Amino acid sequence: MSQEQYKYLLSEQDLPKQWYNVRADMPIEPTPVLNPQTKELITPEFLNVLFPMSLIEQELSMDRYIDIPEEVREIYKLWRPTPLMRARRLEKMLGTPAHIYYKNEGASITGSHKGNTAVAQAYYNKIDGTKSLTTETGAGQWGSALAVSCRFFDMNLEVFMVRGSYEQKPYRRIIMQSYDAEVYASPSEETDYGRKIRREMPDTPGSLGIAISEAVEAAVKSGGKKKYSLGSVLNHVLLHQTVIGQESLKQMEMADEYPDVVIGCVGGGSNFGGIAFPFLQQNLTAGKNTRLIAVEPTATPTLTRGLYAFDYGDTAKMAPILKMFTLGHDFIPAPIHAGGLRYHGMAPQICMLYEAGLVEAVAVPQPETFAAAIQFAQAEGIVPAPESAHAIRAAIIEALDAKEKGEERVILFNLSGHGLLDLSAYDAYHQGKVVDATLEITHEQIRKNLPVVNLS
């Protein structure tokens, strides 16, 4: 074995002390957020029904940096800083001159990047006096991270887990229950909206839009006893994830390289924003020219096939109206194994950046994505989460393109989580049961049920 370096490690002293707020440097005005009932500009008072004021202030802040509370940093130290790895064995397998790096967020205590915001949201709710939270989860990564965080801060948690994932991924449900969270398959019998959907579509696999509706209803109807917590999409969530990219900047400096390409999978946008936004800041303020690529499944091609329009954040039209690339709030996705990437919309910041040409987007099919996951696992020894495998597939495409062109391209991707709780998905792949679920949809089909918004 050669002495070539494989991993780049930071110390606890290198843990970021601030989150980076991309809103401060964006060359385009933030799009408005609307009240779902009145379709007028949303107010902090409306948001306060769902979120504590401290998180609302972060959501609306234009400050470039926001201090990370010491209580949050102390918990971060249970797994952060996470390692940056040079995928030398994958490079050799591909025969590429490209240098491939990955940030291993699967090294966290719950196996994904989700803890970066779960700890922060639990902390701010706790100091605001919140006793109980509600949330939704797709694959269960977010639900698991929030369940642990709620236990750290002695709060109760109700999780509405998309039924398709609830049935496919029982071990994440068990993890949540091990931290005393109550977990319901969504649509459930616990809410009025869940019961309505079950009557109308008894065999539905559910969707993140439906699960969000149930979690929001449970919070709104609690009489102030519960708040709602969201694992992606909103500004304060992506803000908390920027510890990933800030650490990566330092680690790439240790490797004496700088990425030509930064890649992350996208469902709602949190892990992509987390790694990409600090590099975007360098593009906007320091003259760098890194390509930032968001990768989604062809089964839920929000950026690549969706319509850029105002739409509800949930199926029941209870969550705020956001301007985003959307497949329609009533969209029911195929029950693919990448449960965290099945949201009908996308983070407004990422949508604005994509519309402005500052980030790129690609969609990859399910069979090729799992093939890339197996290739990565055999080379690097890590079984990735199905969500993260989308970033791996795009990284391999970039590496092979560099090979064809004879370029020494530097590629960085976010390994947003490990797949050790997703082995049923790999079993399905090995048995030939993972099929191409590419969605064919037109903008006319999407437009039918969108809200009519007049901002003049």
Burial class from Cβ neighbours inside 10 Å (0-12, 13-18, 19+) for residue 390 reads: buried
Cβ atoms of 416 and 112 within 8 Å: the answer is: yes
From the list 123, 141, 393, the residue with the least C-alpha distance to 236 is: 123
Cβ atoms of 80 and 247 within 8 Å: the answer is: yes
- The residue extents of the domains of the chain are 7-15+69-111+236-440
pLDDT by 10-residue block (mean), the chain, 456 residues: 81 97 95 94 93 96 98 98 98 98 97 97 97 93 96 97 89 95 96 96 91 94 94 96 98 98 97 98 98 97 97 92 96 81 94 98 97 98 97 98 97 97 94 93 94 84
Please give the model's pTM, rounded to 2 decimal places.
Answer: 0.96
From the list 193, 183, 235, the residue with the least C-alpha distance to 216 is: 193
Q: What is the pLDDT of residue 3?
A: 63
Query: Between the CA of residue 162 and those of 6, 103, 208, 236, 435, what are the distances in Å?
Result: 38, 28, 6, 23, 20
DSSP-assigned beta bridge partners for residue 123: none
Q: What is the pLDDT of residue 151?
A: 97
Cβ atoms of 300 and 440 within 8 Å: the answer is: no
SS3 164: helix
Using the Cα atoms of residue 311, residue 164, residue 390 and residue 103 in order, give the sign of their dihedral.
Answer: positive
Tokens at residue 307, please?
């319509």
From the list 93, 221, 88, 206, the residue with the least C-alpha distance to 140 is: 206
Q: Which residue has the tokens 């209580």?
A: 71
Q: What is the pLDDT of residue 214?
A: 96
CATH topology of domain 7-15+69-111+236-440: Rossmann fold (3.40.50)
CB neighbour list of residue 242: distance below 8 Å, 6 or more residues apart: 16, 19, 20, 22, 273, 274, 277, 278
**CA torsion 368→373→374→376, rounded to 10°?**
120
Q: What is the pLDDT of residue 456?
A: 66
Residues 246, 320, 359: CA angle, nearest 5 degrees: 35
